[in-house]
Amino acid sequence: MTLRLVHATDIHFYERPTFGQFSPKRILGGANLYVRGRVTHFNRQVQAQLVDAMLAAKPDAVVITGDLTAEALPSEFAAARAALAPLLEQIPTLVQSGNHDVYTYGASRARRIETLFAPWMHLGEGGLARFARPGLYIVGLDPTRPHVLASGRVPEAQLAALPDALAAAPDDAFVVLGLHYPILDRDGRVYEGLSHGLLNARALIDVLAAAPRKPDLILHGHIHHGFTVPLTLGDVTVPICNPGSGGYADMPARHRSASFNVYVLDGPKLLSIERYKHGPDGFTLEPGGAYASGR
């Protein structure tokens, strides 16, 4: 029996902060959003079409790998919750945090994302998410934290708990590792840069290489242009997939548009990847197959 796992990331619902919500970081971040024109990069209509298109893709399960919001405002989480309601209410879904969902120390300390999304975060022992469906087992890491350079770090407790969490998957399940941050960049280099990187990506690779049960697929976001890259773990090669931002406005001159992926699974096999990209006709299959556009 095949199973369709739908994956979106970095939808980035944006709301203008009220005067009282201007923290120093939001002022800087807000200045960046305006000065660099990034507000116009994300589009409410595309975000609404994304939810419809994900449902139309007939998912058995959905994973969202973080950055629901732009600045972790309560109003942004509320907008995300309302827009995603049709998915959350109908399809078993795993929601993960992105660094923008813990944008300020206040949002991080209050675990604001959990206020509205806790039932879909499936958090448990060691701070890991565990999401099980018949034939599918997803383990989620959370390396996000408020950091001025947008870097992440997988907490030691999560690294320590990861091998056992992966090994707990049923023998016949397809095993997925989900996290917001990339492990490798599109050229296969370890994504560990001080700015925007996953600082202990090498430690995570070492843990995965030594783990008795390896993931069959690794999913992430954070970089808004999608790519896929193989990760070599000893004699096993694991595909890593980033669909690219699901909330992007169309920017044809820059070859950018919103995207999401469908992984078609059969037992422990990844049969195919369908990648949908947004254009004048809404979300349609990427011509030539997933990642054929190179964007």
**Which residues sit at the interface with Fe ion, rule CB under 5 A?**
10, 67, 98-99, 222
Q: Which is nearer to Fe ion, 7 or 222 (CB)?
A: 222
CA-wise closest residue to 217 among 255, 248, 179? 179
Q: Which is nearer to Fe ion, 136 or 258 (CB)?
A: 258
Task: Provide the minimum distance between the beta carbon of 140 and Fe ion in the complex, in angstroms, as a whole number.
Answer: 15
Q: Which is nearer to Fe ion, 192 or 216 (CB)?
A: 192
Q: Which is nearer to Fe ion, 67 or 216 (CB)?
A: 67
Per-residue tokens: 69:
């919001």
Residues 44-50: contacts with CB within 8 Å, 24+ apart? 46/247, 46/248, 46/249, 46/250, 46/258, 46/278, 47/11, 47/13, 47/83, 47/246, 47/247, 48/83, 49/278, 49/282, 49/283, 50/8, 50/11, 50/246, 50/247, 50/258, 50/260, 50/278, 50/283
Asked if 267 and 136 count as a contact pair (C-beta separation under 8 A), the reply is no
Task: Provide the minimum distance between the beta carbon of 201 and Fe ion in the complex, in angstroms, as a whole number.
Answer: 14
Task: Provide the minimum distance between the beta carbon of 74 and Fe ion in the complex, in angstroms, as a whole number.
Answer: 19
Task: Provide the minimum distance between the beta carbon of 270 and Fe ion in the complex, in angstroms, as a whole number.
Answer: 25
Chain length of the chain:
295
Task: Provide the minimum distance between the beta carbon of 99 and Fe ion in the complex, in angstroms, as a whole number.
Answer: 4
According to the 3-state scheme, what is the secondary structure of 49-77?
HHHHHHHHCCCCEEEECCCCECCCCHHHH
Task: Name the β-bridge partners of 176.
Answer: 138, 217
Q: Which is nearer to Fe ion, 76 or 216 (CB)?
A: 76
Task: Provide the minimum distance between the beta carbon of 147 and Fe ion in the complex, in angstroms, as a whole number.
Answer: 11
Q: Which is nearer to Fe ion, 20 or 195 (CB)?
A: 195
